[in-house]
Structure 1
Amino acid sequence: MRSASIHRRLLAASFFLCALLGLTCLPVAAKGRPAAPTAVSTSGLTPHFRNWLAANGYGGFDFARTDLAGGSYGGRQSDADTVVNQPVIFIHGNSDKAIGTGVPGQSGWNASIQYFLSQGYKPSELYATTWGPANALFSSQQYHSRENLTRLRAFIQAVRDYTGAAKVDIIAHSMGVTLARKAIKGGPASDALAGGSYNLGPSLTSMVDTFVGIAGGNQGLAACYLSGPTTPTCGNTNGFYPGYLLGGFGPYGVSAFLTELNSSSGYEGAYRYSIWSSADEVIGYGCLVYGRNTCRIPGQTGERGFSAAPYGHFGCKDLTGYWQWRMVKFHATS
């Protein structure tokens, strides 16, 4: 009886994770669950960083996200708090947030931050902010919007300037991967709901040493060609719509955002890595979209792949702190 109850809860969790992207996914019997991450401070950005943001023109972005418990992380304690390691910026996925507080599907970057701290990093070298409402009820309404892109781009610039570092490292998960890639790439974009065409500005490539994309939908999402471009998340303008085949040829009608994003490669940073799993219950089993691995970053330097639970969509983030650290610190995948 107890085993059956646990099994039902695991199946329910799988459905919930799929719902975070506003998708319809097939259930999977989980073989393992990520260990609960060690407690990480939910007090948000330090007063020192908040004061600096306000004094340097970033106050309007509300990077602290004080409306949420766990809305942000990072910053110096004082001017004497020196930054030694290259700063790492963590960018979460759809409906997640910077720091998890026990809500299912919102594990945040707790496990990764705790691992980096165990390897000698300080809070003044680790940064995260929350984009979006951090509410699964609105997951299908999230897309690569002007607001999200300009916000994350400004956060990258702010952390680099605040820490005085020559370069930063970026680790992104799920929808955060494609948002971060465009924030770095810069250039022209369009958002019909926010005034139409706009320009993000010049590329930030020179600011980024290592970029790690975890479980991203770089070629779109399989569930979106099942549902069609019916929601903002799966949209064919700024969503994850992967297009359609016609007579065995294609895909045609791929999301305009993804088409532009993948029109060139190598701009995410000096070193570019992906972490993914063929057992990802949100991206789709095999991570395949029309025979291509959507989790791989075009022009990537290397990767770390998994093929079974507990390395699903969230396990790829919460259980890979060691490989994330190896990638940004040593440019290694083992």
Structure 2
Amino acid sequence: YTGAEEIDIIAHSMGVTYARIIIQGNMWILHRCQLGDPLKSKINKFIAIAGANNGLCICADSEGETTNDTKRVPACSKEFGFWTGPSCPEHTDVKQCNSDDLIPCSDNYGDILKKLDHSNDDAKYIASFWSTNDTIIGPTNKAYGWKTSIVVGTKKEIKYDGLTHYTLKTDTVRDQLKILQLEL
């Protein structure tokens, strides 16, 4: 796209998922679009800020059809969204998606997210940022035991206290720059 041999990507929230779809390529997505060849070999650094790689607890339901005042919430769809199941199949006693002390459930999140997690090499260097004050991801950063903001293959995880889902992208610029300046 740019003609450069390598690029760095900084993505926030849903953009983390979309960036991973584009990086991995060869994937059919919403509206049955095929995005083209993988770009993995061209991605030097990938900074994932407040992503939902294992789903969102606000999307936890049994059908992947989360509703809000009778309207379907597309971002929570089981096929292409941030769906996470209503419970943990391996631990039926566990009822709270965002509990901090759960044993991770297997395959209890959306189809597109599962496909993305089969790759651990989206970039040469991956950093994942999250905050204990994120009201979208949740204060524990958990979806049935998985740290949802952590991209598979992450080499640096940075946890912040006090930043919101939105200020994570604007108030972490110095840390973003430090990562971009790393010599690999």
TM-score, with structure 2 as normaliser = 0.81
- On the 8 A contact 1:245/1:252 being kept in 2, the answer is no
Counterpart position of 1:219:
54
Q: 1:173 to 1:241 in 2, by over 3 A?
A: same
- On the 8 A contact 2:107/2:114 being kept in 1, the answer is no
Unaligned runs of 5+ in 1: 1-156
Q: Percent identity?
A: 33
State which of 113, 116, 124 in structure 2 corresponds to 1:261: 116
Q: 1:189 to 1:234 in 2, by over 3 A?
A: same
Q: How does 1:123-134 map to 2 (within 5 A)?
A: none
Instruction: Give 1:169's aligned amino acid.
Output: D
Q: Determine the C-alpha separation between the residues in 1 that align with 2:16 and 2:149.
A: 9
**2:138 equivalent to 1:302:** no
Q: How does 1:192-271 map to 2 (within 5 A)?
A: 194=31, 196=32, 198-225=33-60, 228-230=64-66, 231-243=73-85, 244-246=87-89, 248=91, 250-251=105-106, 254-266=109-121, 268-271=122-125
Unaligned runs of 5+ in 2: 67-72, 93-104
Instruction: Give 1:278's aligned amino acid.
Output: T
Instruction: Give 2:75's aligned amino acid.
Output: T
Counterpart position of 1:180:
19
The superposition leaves residues 51-101 of structure 1 with CA deviations (integer Å, 9 ceiling, x where unpaired) of: xxxxxxxxxxxxxxxxxxxxxxxxxxxxxxxxxxxxxxxxxxxxxxxxxxx
Counterpart position of 2:165:
313
Q: Which has the higher contact order (CA 8 A, sep 6+)?
A: 2
Q: Secondary structure at 1:176's aligned position in 2?
A: helix
Q: 1:331 to 1:282 in 2, by over 3 A?
A: farther
Report how far residue 327 of structure 1 moved. Answer: 0.6
More displaced stretch, 270-279 vs 219-228: 219-228
Instruction: Give 2:89's aligned amino acid.
Output: L
- On the 8 A contact 2:21/2:27 being kept in 1, the answer is no
Report how far residue 277 of structure 1 moved. Answer: 0.9
Report how far residue 229 of structure 1 moved. Answer: 2.8
Q: Moved runs in structure 1, 4+ residues, more than 6 A?
A: none
Q: Determine the C-alpha separation between the residues in 2 that align with 1:285 and 1:226.
A: 20
Report how far residue 252 of structure 1 moved. Answer: 5.2
Q: 1:182 to 1:247 in 2, by over 3 A?
A: closer
Q: Determine the C-alpha separation between the residues in 1 that align with 2:137 and 2:83.
A: 12
Report how far residue 188 of structure 1 moved. Answer: 2.5
- On the 8 A contact 1:242/1:251 being kept in 2, the answer is no
Q: Secondary structure at 1:276's aligned position in 2?
A: strand
Q: Determine the C-alpha separation between the residues in 2 that align with 1:174 and 1:237.
A: 18
**2:117 equivalent to 1:281:** no
Report how far residue 274 of structure 1 moved. Answer: 0.7
Equivalenced residues, count: 164
Q: Determine the C-alpha separation between the residues in 1 that align with 2:175 and 2:90.
A: 42
Q: Determine the C-alpha separation between the residues in 1 that align with 2:151 and 2:164.
A: 18
Q: Which has the larger radius of gyration?
A: 1
More helix by share: 1
Instruction: Give 1:188's aligned amino acid.
Output: M
The superposition leaves residues 96-116 of structure 1 with CA deviations (integer Å, 9 ceiling, x where unpaired) of: xxxxxxxxxxxxxxxxxxxxx
Q: Secondary structure at 1:213's aligned position in 2?
A: strand
Q: 1:167 to 1:247 in 2, by over 3 A?
A: closer
Q: Determine the C-alpha separation between the residues in 2 that align with 1:253 and 1:291.
A: 10
Counterpart position of 2:97:
none
Report how far residue 232 of structure 1 moved. Answer: 0.9
Q: Secondary structure at 1:326's aligned position in 2?
A: helix
